Amino acid sequence: MTMVLTLPTAAVTREWGVRLGRALLSVPGVPQVIALNGDLGAGKTTFVSGVLAGFGLPGPARSPTYTLIEPYEAGARSLYHLDLYRLSGPRDLEALGLRDLHVGDSTLLIEWAERGEGALPPVDLTLQFGYAGGKVTLDGDAPRRLEITAHGAIGERLAGLLKN
Ligand SMILES: Nc1ncnc2c1ncn2[C@@H]1O[C@H](COP(=O)(O)OP(=O)(O)O)[C@@H](O)[C@H]1O
Ligand SMILES: [Mg+2]
């Protein structure tokens, strides 16, 4: 399933992140992998801050740009926020021990997941962020486009929860 959302403001982007956070919490006992792709400034980290809020964690998201990964604990679920922008190769991912993190009750939110392609666990939802036409500006609100694609049963279930 694919769905396309228009996100007129950063607050709306964050709110959809909150909704995904709640959806993720309501599917326990399975590993969850969310890929967030799109240009710098497209809204990936803003969305992740919303997911943290949906998990009941105070935000904003700490930037994992240099560390590649930031761990959070939310009740029974472990949340890992990754940013692969500075990934130099698949070996970096091996060093992170990602395979050991792909277990029941862990959620991976992976910015720039496209850079880790081939070395990541299977993705349940791909979130593709883009500018929704017009001028590209980080100054004030400007609309973004978000295309969400579900892969497999867990992805479909999450996408269904997100819609309703
Ligand atoms: N509709 C929108 N959705 C998300 N962010 C927006 C929007 N309009 C403006 N912004 C601004 O754009 C920037 C997005 O930055 P960020 O979320 O860090 O992007 P990324 O992680 O994709 O590089 C923020 O400064 C945010 O306030
Ligand atoms: Mg970011």
In a structure prediction context, what are the per-residue pLDDT tens digits for the chain, which is 164 residues long? 999 999 999 999 999 999 999 999 999 999 999 999 999 999 999 999 999 999 999 878 888 878 899 999 998 899 999 999 999 887 888 888 888 999 999 999 999 999 999 899 999 999 999 998 766 666 789 999 999 999 999 999 999 999 98
Is residue 68 packed enough to be buried (19+ CB in 10 Å), middle (13-18) or exposed (0-12)? buried
H/E stretch holding 80: strand 77-83
Superfamily of domain 2-135, CATH level 4: P-loop containing nucleotide triphosphate hydrolases (3.40.50.300)
φ, ψ of residue 7 to 5 degrees: the values are -115, 95
48 in ligand 1 pocket by Cβ < 6 Å? no
Residue in 46, 83, 109 to alter for ligand 1 test, most ligand atoms within 8 A of Cβ = 46
> 3-state class of 114 per DSSP?
helix
| Ligand 1, atom 9: closest residue by C-alpha | 141
- From the CB of 46, is ligand 1 less than 6 Å away? yes
Domain boundaries, the chain: 2-135
User: Is residue 47 within 8 Å of 83, Cβ to Cβ?
Assistant: no
Tokens encoding 109: 């939110």
For atom 25 of ligand 1, the residue with the nearest CA is 138
113: nearest Cα among 47, 59, 36: 36
